[in-house]
Structure 1
Amino acid sequence: MAKTLFDKIWEKHVVKNIEGGPSVFYIDTHFIHEVTSPQAFKGLEKRGLQVFRPKQVVATADHNVPTLNQHLPIKEELSRLQVQTLQDNCKKFGIELYGLGHPYQGIVHVIGPELGITQPGMTIVCGDSHTSTHGAFGTIAFGIGTSEVEMVLATQCLMQSKPKLMRINVDGELNKGVVSKDIILYIISKISASGATGYAVEYAGSAIRNLSMEARMTICNMSIEMGARCGMIAPDQTTFDYIKGREFAPKGDAWDNAVAEWQTLYSDADAKFDVELNIKAEDIEPMITYGTNPGMGIGVTGHIPALTEIDEKEKVSYQKSLNYMGLEPGADIKGRKVDYVFIGSCTNSRIEDLRMVASFVKGKKKADDVEVWVVPGSKQVEKQAIEEGINKIFEEAGFILRQPGCSACLGMNEDKIPAGKYCISTSNRNFEGRQGPNARTFLASPLTAAVAAVTGKVGDVREFI
């Protein structure tokens, strides 16, 4: 019987099927951070339980950490408490922690792949919705709630119902200036922020296969932004080349055996999906959002939809969104002034993203009235950026290269966008207040963000390259 990639991994990890209910589902790797783990550990202590398999749990501090002066005590009291609590819990329960000052510290969904912890065929969870990032390696990876974090710590299993399956094929050649962030923003704009609810999504097609691993991670990262349970891409030679030689990747004979197994992880030619969508790569242009969910996106040369283009049932919420953003229905997005540019987050903070921005801004200066924050996704990315001289390019352009963390992706640390200010962000969410109370967010690719940094407004990168 023909099977999808999801089917093959799912079936190997079901411990027990419960008739008429969810399955007991085994988890290979559990990532934790300081925000969603404290209550879970407290639950274990209340019940007198230990962590069942601590060697399969990996911890880092990312959401609450400052991105300047990380050698100093954390200023914000809640952030300091959460990071300290993570340290205490990891020590108490025997869990590896990549905390502040550790050479492997960084955003949880950046360090897993770069360390070779994330490998094809695995099941991966984390108390963080963007765990779907790891699906770029051909894994079933998804975010879980705090009570589920406790369940995995205690049992290394979860109760899970199998989702429906969707495949999104992107075929053809991408246009100049169009990158993976544009692909996923385009998909979400077409199917909406809830269009994949209840589905596990596999991305396929020639345009996807031609992407680097870091670009694939960007696409899978934002699967949750269209409601998907997870996103995944079948592993191939690009995947194997990326993993080989990394810190926790298999070595010697174990590597050969692993690759032989990984090569079986693909959807069979006649495998059936509940829904299948086809997209032409050439239809995608550089994208940007204008509203308060990631589905409210358009090409940079397009206009914000007029009220006549909006379904009657959605007009009230649509107008509310535009009021928050200070935008008018029917207006152009190109040329809109911005105040801040944020390049970072688990979506776009890898070395390729920083190289992309550096290649555009080299020899240029930032606009005088724009503040630019570049936040690497990990200590390793930071180190590589310095070794390659990328930090010098940023300094000469007037950018600030900060230290690793989630930073201005979310208003949970010191890096907040001031109320009423506009920020072009390479992150994944533009919800009301996401980057700080009353901050206004445009989501875009690193290239589109770089254009805004230099010109001070929303622009079309194709006019500059």
Structure 2
Amino acid sequence: MAKSLFQKVWDAHSVRKLANGQTQLLIGTHLIHEVTSPQAFGMLRDLGLKVAFPHRTFATVDHIIPTNELVEPYADSLAQAMMDEIRKNCAEFGVTFFDRASGKQGIVHIVGPEQGITQPGTTIACGDSHTSTHGAFGAIAFGIGTSQVRDVLATQTMALGALKVRRIEVNGKLRPGVYAKDVILHIIRLTGVNGGTGFAYEYAGTTFDGFTMEERMTVCNMSIEGGARVGYVNPDETTYAYLKGRPYSPKGADWDAAVERWESYASDPGAHYDDVMKIDAADVAPSVTWGINPGQGISITENVPSPETATSADDKAGIIEALE
């Protein structure tokens, strides 16, 4: 039976079906940071638990770290306290920590790819809504809350309900001055901010085939803005070229075996999708958002809409709220 990448990865990481209908899913890689992890570590202490698989967990600081201060203690006492806390927690629980002086610290969703930690065919969880960024590499990546961070630390698993899969094909060549951010804003404009609820998005088509990994990450990053829980691109030669030689990427014969395994996760021809969208790249224009959510977008040649142009009462109320 032909399967999508999402279904293959889901099946490979399913531990068991729970009584409530959810699936207990193995999480291959857990990324943590200083904002959503302190309470989770505190809960582990209260329960007398350890991190189940420390080698599958990687930490960094990115949300509160000052950009204008290089020397500690920081002027912001809360920032310093959070820095101290994650250092203490990682040392106590044996978690790899990319501290500021390591040369590996950065935005958590960029650290994973840069270090070769983010790899195709795996599941990734992080206590941040934009974890779908990692889907650019053919991973299934979930943003999670603090209680789920606790669950993954303690068991390397989490409970999730099944998702539908929507394939979004963008084909053709983008016009000059149109970029990956315009593509995802165009998609969100078409679907709305809730249109992806309950879905994993598979981004495909010749436009994505020609994208760099950074461009793919840009699109996958904003999947959540369209309501989708997951967004991913099938791995290909562009993916492998980016990962080769990275610190945590496989080396030597292991590399060849890894690429062969990664290729097997790509969606099969004829795979079933719950929905398919097709977009002509020529229809994507340089875009901006004018309102208070990413779905309120227009091309730079359009006017900001007035309430009188609304097609429904809800649309009118949304325009009025945004303009006020």
Task: Please classify the TM superposition score into its range, dividing by the shorter chain length.
Answer: over 0.9
Aligned equivalents of 1:144 and 1:210: distance in 2? 31
The 1:19/1:268 distance shift into structure 2, 3 A limit, reads: farther
Aligned equivalents of 1:173 and 1:141: distance in 2? 28
The answer for the alignment partner of 2:8 in structure 1 is 8
Cα deviation, residue 314, structure 1: 3.0
The answer for the alignment partner of 2:172 in structure 1 is 172
Note if 1:211 corresponds to 2:211: yes
Structure 2: which amino acid aligns with 1:35?
V
Deviations 1:372-423 (A, max 9, x none): xxxxxxxxxxxxxxxxxxxxxxxxxxxxxxxxxxxxxxxxxxxxxxxxxxxx
Cα deviation, residue 99, structure 1: 1.8
Contact kept? 1:14, 1:26, Cα under 8 Å: yes
Structure 1: which amino acid aligns with 2:299?
G
Cα deviation, residue 317, structure 1: 3.2
The answer for the alignment partner of 2:269 in structure 1 is 269
Deviations 1:149-205 (A, max 9, x none): 000000000011110110100001100011111100111111111111110000000
Aligned equivalents of 1:185 and 1:31: distance in 2? 27
Aligned ranges 1:27-426 → 2 under 5 Å: 27-310=27-310, 311-323=312-324
Structure 1: which amino acid aligns with 2:253?
D
Contact kept? 1:70, 1:101, Cα under 8 Å: no
Deviations 1:337-381 (A, max 9, x none): xxxxxxxxxxxxxxxxxxxxxxxxxxxxxxxxxxxxxxxxxxxxx
Structure 1: which amino acid aligns with 2:323?
L
Aligned equivalents of 2:80 and 2:323: distance in 1? 36
Q: How many residues align?
A: 323
Aligned equivalents of 2:14 and 2:176: distance in 1? 44
Cα deviation, residue 78, structure 1: 1.8
**Alignment partner of 1:101: what SS?**
helix
**Alignment partner of 1:195: what SS?**
coil
Structure 2: which amino acid aligns with 1:320?
E
Cα deviation, residue 300, structure 1: 1.1
**Alignment partner of 1:261: what SS?**
helix
Contact kept? 1:180, 1:218, Cα under 8 Å: yes
When the two structures are superposed, what TM-score results if normalisation uses the length of structure 2? 0.98
> Any stretches of 5+ residues in structure 1 without a counterpart?
324-465
**Alignment partner of 1:12: what SS?**
helix
Contact kept? 2:73, 2:80, Cα under 8 Å: yes
Contact kept? 1:71, 1:101, Cα under 8 Å: no
RMSD over equivalenced CA pairs, Å: 1.0
Cα deviation, residue 20, structure 1: 5.3
Structure 2: which amino acid aligns with 1:318?
I
Cα deviation, residue 19, structure 1: 5.4
Higher relative contact order (CA 8 A, sep 6+): 2
Contact kept? 1:70, 1:100, Cα under 8 Å: no
> Any stretches of 5+ residues in structure 2 without a counterpart?
none
Contact kept? 2:308, 2:316, Cα under 8 Å: no
Aligned equivalents of 1:44 and 1:51: distance in 2? 8
When the two structures are superposed, what TM-score results if normalisation uses the length of structure 1? 0.68
Instruction: Among all aligned residue pairs of Structure 1 and Structure 2, give the percentage whose two residues are the same amino acid.
Output: 48
Q: Where is the helix percentage greater, Structure 1 or Structure 2?
A: 2
Deviations 1:278-316 (A, max 9, x none): 100001111111111111111111111121222212322
Aligned equivalents of 2:318 and 2:309: distance in 1? 14
Aligned equivalents of 1:203 and 1:309: distance in 2? 32
Aligned equivalents of 2:176 and 2:124: distance in 1? 35
Aligned equivalents of 1:20 and 1:194: distance in 2? 25
**Alignment partner of 2:246: what SS?**
coil
Contact kept? 1:13, 1:25, Cα under 8 Å: yes
Cα deviation, residue 101, structure 1: 2.0
Bigger mean CA offset, 312-321 vs 103-112:
312-321
Structure 1: which amino acid aligns with 2:217?
M
Deviations 1:109-143 (A, max 9, x none): 01100110101001000000000000000010010
